[in-house]
Structure 1
């Protein structure tokens, strides 16, 4: 093809892909189509052949009601069908016009009420057998099929016997887009297509979408002249009429030429669905024109629906069988991962044959950090690592492909051992993964014609135009770099193994963290215990030394006395820090315990006042305590006092001279709400969510605190079944509130 023709071909091909097959603006000539407006049921569009078939001028019918065409009685019968619920059975209405019998069918789409009148064929009974009897026999046979292939063979034989088509075949769509004929019933004179592949371009994507939404399509005579609609566009919208669900819809001229090139003039196709997915087609063809009556077509549509359900059910059973066949190996491999002393994939490395059997692979590679285990037929280590890195970049936790070299060019160098790969990996920073390999299986696919030339160019009166291929001779193509496909069972096994690996890996991490927490708690307990004794000794010695060196003595005595004071303060601070570390460790581990008992709130307030009032007096702070009379709580006295003293101490610390600190307790429902308010500098909105974090005060530049006080206070309150909450406004002060259960 010369460059100019090639450019024209590409342009025409693009136009073909965008061909408005839903809006052809015309119908097939074996019937008449009307578009009515609602609710007046006035004719707004009509096919031009209403003149030839019914003797009425199409232009004069526009704006008229149905009785102008059918008479009052027949028009009312059609209107009854129009008013019926959409989900009701679409039974044809028998109509006689100009001494010709028609079957009238009604449907709505895109806001249009469409009435189709198809010529009635009352004497259509192939081989003298009634359609109803054939339907009952066919359903019975379909249900008796034990395998999918038997189901296909029964379907094509029965539909051919019932309809009289020269050829009936089942065409299944493959993942790659092309299709294969998997069952066929043909007259002796017909060319056989069973087993042949047809390229995806034979049924363009827009046609497949129409097949997905519309169960049945029929072309009684491919060599027809399309009948235009009058007017061409809808008067109400100015757009073409959508004929997606119209039986009479005119089809693409390229498709009609395709039919004639195949040697058939009549066709019918029935969709086979798997859920919402177009699984395949029942395709019927006849050398001579053939119009199958509506009731016979509905019987075939029912067969397609039943066959779709049977296919889905039997494929579901097959998937279950595939899964069940993997369970024994999965159980053993899960146990191997759980029992491994190192990591989960190390456990798999001890079961290489079982791992290969799991996915019917000829080789397997296991990566765990810097280690690589290879078993069976595998690429070289560097090639595996390069492939694994590329798979990680795809972002797919489970990756599968049976033609690896087509998407990852370096794999072409080792396609003899690894044309197919199935791989899993875990979301960890270290390199890890399992890769199964399948070797190249050279196969010869038999195509119906050259798959690379589904369309060609031809000269016409209007210039170059697309022409469907004219040759359907067997075209053999040898396929290289392809392995057997990974089945649903293989993918299930890979996903399940990865799930087990994740669970085992997570369990190991949790166990390690628990051991780490336990070791930390034990270390803190030991260190705290071992440090208490020397701290006590140091404190006692400091007291004894303090008596020996008076601050009123000589200059050197004063210096020694000051140093001893500093040592005592540091020892006290160290003891407090040890206590805080012990409490923090218990809170973190969820082992913080309290000893609740009935206590009076007034007593707690008296103790807090006695301890903390000197600090408030030193800063001239007005500190007040208010509590409802006779309040009693169920709490650990020592721990609750620890919370109050921490909150009040912080309030005094961060409140300037002559400020105010107020402490209150009041009953709210079944709880006592304690509040500590101050007029201090407050806490910024950015810092407020973090005040209960460990070491917060240290992070905020407060060198005098351990940063654990509020964290421990919250843990104590939560151990009592309450909550500790903080509110603050910079420059206006803060309020900390906590709750404790009340005793009536």
Structure 2
């Protein structure tokens, strides 16, 4: 093939993939097709063979009422059928026109009513002697009793061949890679056997598969037909070709007709097999001579296809369930090993290498836990495993499976003898971790029906270069290298379930470690605070006794000692405050902070607060006020609530300059009492405001001794009362803290 021919071939191949098979503009000649307007039932389009079959020229029928072609009685049958909620529920339409018997088939599609008048096949004699209904009932019963998928397939092809008389009936299953395999066949002894053969994906292009998915059955009584065009060619209302996706008479691609002839058949019928809404496979029928199976019998075959589809889905689901059950015992052993491991979950798995390998029927496993790498069985080299694991992590898939690893990860070609297939899982942790199962290469010969690399050919004709379907269906053997046995549903389930268990156990370990750390911290804080409180009390008492002995009005030495004693007392006071704060923080963090609420009168509480806090404000000439709505009562812990007020008011006084103001309010709002502490200080910077209630947050300027725990504890106390606290501030305009406490009615 010259470069020019090759380029032309690629272009024609692309055009073939885009061939408008839904819009052929023609039908097969074993019937008539009309498009009708509703509700008038005027003829919009009609197939040109109306002149041959009914002796009426097509152009003169356009725009005419349907009864002008088929008569009033038959038109009335059509109108009656249209009254059904779904056209499939309508009774069969049988017409005799111009000495020919027809079956009427109705469907709507894309806003148009389509009526097909298919020539009725009279005196059709299938191979079985029983009637269609009797045979169908017996067959459906046999399908339901089948004990395996293969039995289902074998029953189906044998019974359909007996019912229809086709020379060959086979079941063709699509593989994930796109190609398909014949998995069951019933053929005349003189026919070439296709059972077990693989057919390339190009034999059934993607657009044809989509048509098979949406339309259960297609028939070609005679591949040697001449297409019959529609008149007019385009729909008058849209000026587009008529979509014949669901038309029984739809004309098919000439390439497909030639493909049939090359296979040695002139008639075909295909029935879709669906799994959910996905095309699982086809029942494909072929006959060496033209064969027109009547509509009634085709409907029975379609029913078989639908039942078989349901049975396939049900039995595959049972098979998946069986595969999962086989893994349960091993998964339980591995889960217990992870629980019992004193270190981490992956160490537990590493102690059960044989169970872990058997879980996925692997030839080797690798367990990665950060710098540790454990290998068992036949595995790639450590550096290769690390590189593969890094690539898997970059993909970001929790569980990954491939039976042809080199096709997606080329470096794997270097070790495909031991790892043509890989199944892997990992946990979302900062450190590297994961389990990888390896399967070796399984070299096998795949029997293809013809050379899969040459699905189509090129030929010169009077019209120029054109595609020609392949003419050879001889067995073409291809050795498949770098491929392992496929990972089953059960293997994938096992990897996912093991990952779930590992994740749960890993998280449980982290929670236990954190709980132990919290308990240890709480115990340490409690011990330290208890052991320090007694010495601090002694220091305070001794400082008081020493102050009596040394006067600040005495000699120079006495004044220096008195000043030092004051400093010691202040330091001891701060130490006691810090110890109390640490204890409160520990309880809040652990969710063990408790209060002792009682009925409190807000006005009385404000009087006490003012008497205790006002002297702090007077030292800075700050005006302070407390105002409360009359008769406010709350249910609160008096000591803890005063701690909140003193903390907020103390902060306000601390960060308000001399001659400033601090105002405290209490108002009833709904079911809450809202307390507000407002100051005229410098305010809190906007980038600090969201963090004022964080642990250890503090403003350094003007607060050299702050621990950063006061507001955190304040928030904890408010929330322990069932309230909430918020802060608002504008730099240069002061701050406002508001907290709520449920009111007591």
TM-score tier by shorter-chain length is over 0.9
Tell me, yes or no, if the aligned pair for 1:446 and 1:474 is still in contact at 8 Å: yes
Equivalent position of 1:375 in the other structure: 376
- Structure 2 alignment gaps of length 5 or more: none
Counterparts of 1:130 and 1:515, CA distance in 2: 79
Equivalent position of 1:199 in the other structure: 200
Counterparts of 2:207 and 2:121, CA distance in 1: 32
Equivalent position of 1:75 in the other structure: 75
Equivalent position of 2:257 in the other structure: 256
Equivalent position of 1:275 in the other structure: 276
Counterparts of 2:87 and 2:75, CA distance in 1: 22
Equivalent position of 1:237 in the other structure: 238
Counterparts of 2:590 and 2:87, CA distance in 1: 63
What's the CA shift for 1:163? 1.0
Alignment pair present for 1:151 and 2:152: yes
Counterparts of 2:238 and 2:688, CA distance in 1: 62
Counterparts of 1:705 and 1:467, CA distance in 2: 89
What's the CA shift for 1:260? 0.4
Equivalent position of 2:440 in the other structure: 439
Alignment pair present for 1:117 and 2:117: yes
Q: Judging changes above 3 Å, is the alpha-carbon distance between structure 1 residues 90 and 688 closer, same or farther for their aligned structure 2 residues?
A: farther
Equivalent position of 2:21 in the other structure: 21
What's the CA shift for 1:545? 4.2
Counterparts of 1:508 and 1:634, CA distance in 2: 41
What's the CA shift for 1:178? 0.8
Equivalent position of 2:430 in the other structure: 429
Counterparts of 1:88 and 1:175, CA distance in 2: 33
What's the CA shift for 1:668? 4.6
Equivalent position of 1:295 in the other structure: 296
Deviation sequence 1:104-147 (CA, Å, 0-9, x none): 11111122221111111232232443211111111111111111
Q: Which moved more, 1:520-529 or 1:205-214?
A: 520-529
Counterparts of 1:34 and 1:680, CA distance in 2: 88
Alignment pair present for 1:65 and 2:65: yes
Counterparts of 1:87 and 1:592, CA distance in 2: 72
SS at match of 2:418: helix
Q: Judging changes above 3 Å, is the alpha-carbon distance between structure 1 residues 87 and 698 closer, same or farther for their aligned structure 2 residues?
A: farther
Q: Which moved more, 1:47-56 or 1:460-469?
A: 47-56
What are the residue-to-residue correspondences of 1:589-608 with 2, within 5 Å?
Answer: 589-608=590-609
Equivalent position of 1:359 in the other structure: 360
Count of aligned pairs: 744
SS at match of 1:697: coil
Equivalent position of 1:47 in the other structure: 47
Tell me, yes or no, if the aligned pair for 2:143 and 2:156 is still in contact at 8 Å: yes
Equivalent position of 1:571 in the other structure: 572
- Structure 1 alignment gaps of length 5 or more: none
Equivalent position of 2:470 in the other structure: 469
Tell me, yes or no, if the aligned pair for 2:81 and 2:87 is still in contact at 8 Å: no
SS at match of 2:194: coil
TM-score (norm 1): 0.96
Q: Which moved more, 1:594-603 or 1:270-279?
A: 594-603
What are the residue-to-residue correspondences of 1:403-552 with 2, within 5 Å?
Answer: 403-552=404-553
Q: Which moved more, 1:518-527 or 1:266-275?
A: 518-527
What are the residue-to-residue correspondences of 1:96-245 with 2, within 5 Å?
Answer: 96-127=96-127, 128-245=129-246
Deviation sequence 1:632-682 (CA, Å, 0-9, x none): 332221111101111222233344444443323344555433333344444
Q: Judging changes above 3 Å, is the alpha-carbon distance between structure 1 residues 628 and 26 closer, same or farther for their aligned structure 2 residues?
A: same
Tell me, yes or no, if the aligned pair for 2:426 and 2:499 is still in contact at 8 Å: yes
Equivalent position of 1:8 in the other structure: 8
Q: Judging changes above 3 Å, is the alpha-carbon distance between structure 1 residues 732 and 49 closer, same or farther for their aligned structure 2 residues?
A: farther
What's the CA shift for 1:691? 2.2
SS at match of 1:676: strand
Tell me, yes or no, if the aligned pair for 1:90 and 1:106 is still in contact at 8 Å: no
Counterparts of 1:71 and 1:61, CA distance in 2: 13
TM-score (norm 2): 0.96
Counterparts of 1:377 and 1:77, CA distance in 2: 73
Q: Which moved more, 1:331-340 or 1:233-242?
A: 233-242
SS at match of 1:696: coil
Q: Which moved more, 1:498-507 or 1:698-707?
A: 698-707
SS at match of 2:698: helix
What's the CA shift for 1:439? 1.4
Q: Which moved more, 1:695-704 or 1:641-650?
A: 695-704
What's the CA shift for 1:559? 4.8
Equivalent position of 1:393 in the other structure: 394
SS at match of 1:126: coil
Deviation sequence 1:422-481 (CA, Å, 0-9, x none): 111111122211111111111111111111111110111211111111011111112122
Counterparts of 2:395 and 2:630, CA distance in 1: 70
Deviation sequence 1:58-116 (CA, Å, 0-9, x none): 22222222122122222232133234323642543222322222111111112222111
Alignment pair present for 1:696 and 2:686: no
Q: Which moved more, 1:309-318 or 1:24-33?
A: 24-33
What's the CA shift for 1:700? 8.4
Alignment pair present for 1:617 and 2:600: no
Equivalent position of 1:583 in the other structure: 584
Equivalent position of 2:306 in the other structure: 305
Q: Which moved more, 1:597-606 or 1:274-283?
A: 597-606
Deviation sequence 1:544-582 (CA, Å, 0-9, x none): 444444444455655554444333333322221221111
Q: Which moved more, 1:114-123 or 1:658-667?
A: 658-667
Counterparts of 1:125 and 1:526, CA distance in 2: 99
Tell me, yes or no, if the aligned pair for 1:167 and 1:190 is still in contact at 8 Å: yes
Q: Judging changes above 3 Å, is the alpha-carbon distance between structure 1 residues 687 and 106 closer, same or farther for their aligned structure 2 residues?
A: farther
Equivalent position of 2:319 in the other structure: 318
Q: Judging changes above 3 Å, is the alpha-carbon distance between structure 1 residues 414 and 605 closer, same or farther for their aligned structure 2 residues?
A: same
Deviation sequence 1:343-384 (CA, Å, 0-9, x none): 101111111111111111121111122222111122222222
Equivalent position of 1:56 in the other structure: 56
SS at match of 1:526: helix
Tell me, yes or no, if the aligned pair for 1:181 and 1:193 is still in contact at 8 Å: yes
Tell me, yes or no, if the aligned pair for 2:655 and 2:702 is still in contact at 8 Å: no
Counterparts of 2:730 and 2:220, CA distance in 1: 80
